[in-house]
Amino acid sequence: MYLSEKFSSISPSATLAIDSKFKAMKAEGMDVVGFGAGEPDFPTPRHIKDAAIFAIENNITKYTPASGTVDIKKAVCEKFLKENGLEYKPENIVVSNGAKHSLNNALGAILNPGDEVIIPAPCWVSYPEMVLLADGVPVIVNSTEEEGFLPTIEKIRAAVTDKTRAIIINNPSNPTGMCYPEEALRQIAALCVEKNIYIIADEIYESLVYAGRKNFSIATISEEVKDLTIVVNGVSKTYAMTGWRIGYTASNARLAKVMGNVQSHATSNPNSIAQHAAIAALTGPQEPVLEMKAAFEERRNHMVERMNNIDGVSCIMPDGAFYIMMNISKLIGKEIDGTVITGSDAFAEKFLEIEKVAVVPGKSFGTDIHVRWSYATSMENIDKGLDRLESFISKLK
């Protein structure tokens, strides 16, 4: 059997794999609690669902322009102007089947074989694989918890070579929830202008930043920086629309054209009904977003406080998104049921098997002394999960 070396070398998404396992266990009737996938637990707001029903009833059910309708592109431009102070025209926007698709388009549009992409880590599981799929070379730049999970500019600069074409700035970050301080983004942007490096700014969690903070968008620094930046965003996280599959990019018009051309052959337009619903999300009332954000913030505060009161584990306060990286270094080397906790994989496996709690091993994000909890779940589940964590730790020898 012949198989593509490229495709067969790609690992499955660990976050989605854990989510499938959790959902399968739940379907079997097990009392399992899921902190795996980063997916808002809220339903999609009513007015967005109504817009989709309207689209079906009014036959907005045909092919649209491949890179999205003029209306959704205008809605995206309005969003950028209103929320980020960034001026784009419809020709700068490509609407795709989720931000994952947007990221694949972006990398495909700028990379040639062997080109390097700097990925600050801990990083989301999909970035390195996406770079490989686009024939690029992922260059991981690690950072520690003590550094606030953000690599210093010196570390980033040291990773630049004459093959560096892009850097991925995920702000706020999945899996750490940390936001780059504005000064750090200015230093990164200056380096990118100096070396002519594209910035892929994944801002999918931008609306989920807490304690009165506002996310700073790197493309706002200057026209030069904006021209080098491909902003990636989407409706999945902000509007609890993960299943609808709408993401988008804003970039210079030349790149947008290249991405749109590829999309016209690969997938054609994103779903026409979902596009219509996404317009309602972007231009309609934003109160539901604020309500979800307030709930996430309350959960974050509660979870961080409780976790730091449990002996053997700890975490730093994340700025945004809905993830917490729990430090398990004190538990490494301990034993449970004859299995030694050698790292985050063993921890996550035994925690799921014994206590029926699903978390994602940090190893998938580049740190083996952490596991990721998503707090996009109810307070009740959060307390249940943490009670079970206490029980798990008490069984370790």
* Neighbouring-strand partners of residue 323: 374
Q: Closest CB to ligand GLU among 88 and 239?
A: 239
The answer to whether the peptide bond before residue 40 is cis (omega within 30 degrees of 0) is no
376: its two tokens: 């996009």
Q: Closest CB to ligand GLU among 101 and 293?
A: 101
Q: Closest CB to ligand PMP among 175 and 385?
A: 175
Q: Closest CB to ligand PMP among 68 and 247?
A: 247
Q: Residues with Cβ < 8 Å from 244, sequence gap 6 or more? A: 44, 52, 235, 236, 271, 274, 277, 278
* Pairwise CA distance, residues 314 & 290, whole Å: 28
278 binds, among ligand GLU, ligand PMP, none (CB under 5 to 8 A by kind): none
Closest distance of CB 69 from ligand GLU, Å: 25
297 binds, among ligand GLU, ligand PMP, none (CB under 5 to 8 A by kind): none
Q: Can you give 89-126 as a three-state secondary structure string?
A: CHHHEEEECCHHHHHHHHHHHHCCCCCEEEEECCCCCH
Tell me whether residue 47 is exposed, middle or buried, using C-beta atoms within 10 angstroms of its C-beta: 0 to 12, 13 to 18, 19 or more: middle
Closest distance of CB 98 from ligand PMP, Å: 3
**Which positions lie near ligand PMP, rule CB under 6 A?**
38, 98-100, 124, 170, 174, 202, 204, 234, 236, 242, 247
Closest distance of CB 235 from ligand PMP, Å: 7
The answer to whether the peptide bond before residue 181 is cis (omega within 30 degrees of 0) is no
Q: Closest CB to ligand GLU among 122 and 343?
A: 122
Closest distance of CB 98 from ligand GLU, Å: 8
301 binds, among ligand PMP, ligand GLU, none (CB under 5 to 8 A by kind): none
99 binds, among ligand GLU, ligand PMP, none (CB under 5 to 8 A by kind): ligand PMP
320 binds, among ligand GLU, ligand PMP, none (CB under 5 to 8 A by kind): none
Closest distance of CB 231 from ligand GLU, Å: 18
Q: Are 120 and 141 in contact (CB under 8 A)?
A: yes
Q: Tell me how crowded residue 24 is: count the other CB atoms within 10 A of its CB.
A: 11
Is the dihedral angle over the CA atoms 108, 111, 113, 119 positive or is it negative?
negative
Closest distance of CB 236 from ligand PMP, Å: 3
**Which positions lie near ligand GLU, rule CB under 6 A?**
13, 15-16, 37-39, 124, 126, 174
Q: Closest CB to ligand PMP among 151 and 234?
A: 234
Cite the beta strand spans of 7-75 per DSSP E.
Answer: 33-34
